[in-house]
Structure formats: C-alpha cells, structure tokens
Structure 1
Amino acid sequence: MSLEDKIKNTAQDVAGKAKEGLGEATGDEQLKTEGKVNQATASAKDALADAKDAASEKAGEVADKAKGLIDGLKK
C-alpha cells in the first residue's frame, strides 16, 4: 500500500471516529452511523490493499520458481 493511500485511509478512519463521537454526544444517530461507515470503509480499504500486496508477493515468488524450473530445463 502506498504511503498516500495509508494516509487517506487513516484520515477517513479518524474522521469517522470524530463523526461517531459527535453523533454520540449530540444524540444524532445518522451522524453516528456515518462515522461507523467511514471507519468500516477505511478498514476495508486497508484489508484490500494488504490482500493485493500479499497476492503480488506470492505471484513474484511463483514467477521466480517458474523461471528457475525453465532455466533448469534449458541446461
């Protein structure tokens, strides 16, 4: 995940916590719910980025192994 994405997701999470807290303090259920949705969205984006990073890493490992096998067959 890029640093820019991490900052954006953290900002969305913090904004969500602020909205939820303000909604709780004022009794505004809609604002409270929006805050929870913002937090959940930020968490989902983080999880997706982590999954993409893991998949990319595994793909690189598989490509390296395949190259090794091909090079071994050429000898």
Structure 2
Amino acid sequence: MDKEHLKGAAKKTEGSVKESVGKATDNKKLEAEGKKDKAEGELRKAAGDVKDAVNN
C-alpha cells in the first residue's frame, strides 16, 4: 500500500464522518463536504491503483 492509498483511505473515512454528522445534525453543508471528501478519497485510491499497475 503506497502513500496515495493511505491518503485516500483517510480522506474517505473523514468524509464518512462528516457526512454522518451532517445527516445527524441536519447540516446539509457538512453532509455535502463529507460526500466531496469521500469522492476525493476514491480518486486518490484510484490514483494509487494506477501507480501500482504502472510499477508492476
């Protein structure tokens, strides 16, 4: 697992927490930020997958 995978997992977790808190508190802005962070985490994970594929 490389740095992009780790960053992606962290961002995705952060996004999940924000989204959950946003839903629980009915804070649409926080919920949207969480969804954005989760998407960014997925992109970082995909970038790590591409790096792995290129290096192998």
TM-score range, shorter chain: 0.7 to 0.9
Q: Say if 1:5 and 1:52 are closer, same or farther in 2 by CA, change over 3 A.
A: closer
Partner of 1:40: 39
Partner of 2:23: 24
The sequence identity of aligned pairs, in percent, is 34
Give the paired residue count.
56
TM-score normalised by L of structure 1: 0.64
Q: Which has the higher helix share?
A: 1
Could you list the runs of 5+ residues in structure 2 that have no partner in the other structure?
none
Range with greater deviation from structure 2 (6-15 or 40-49):
6-15
Describe the superposition over 1:10-66 as per-residue Cα deviations: whole angstroms up to 9, x where unpaired: 221111101000110111111001001111101111101101221232xxxxxxxxx
RMSD: 1.5
Which one scores higher on RCO, CA 8 angstroms, separation ≥ 6? 2
Could you list the runs of 5+ residues in structure 1 that have no partner in the other structure?
58-75
TM-score normalised by L of structure 2: 0.82
Any runs of at least 4 consecutive aligned residues in structure 1 with deviations exceeding 4 A, and if so which?
A: none
- Counterparts of 1:2-21 in structure 2, within 5 Å, are 2=2, 4-21=3-20
- Contact conserved, 2:11 with 2:38, CA < 8 A, in 1? yes
Larger Rg: 1
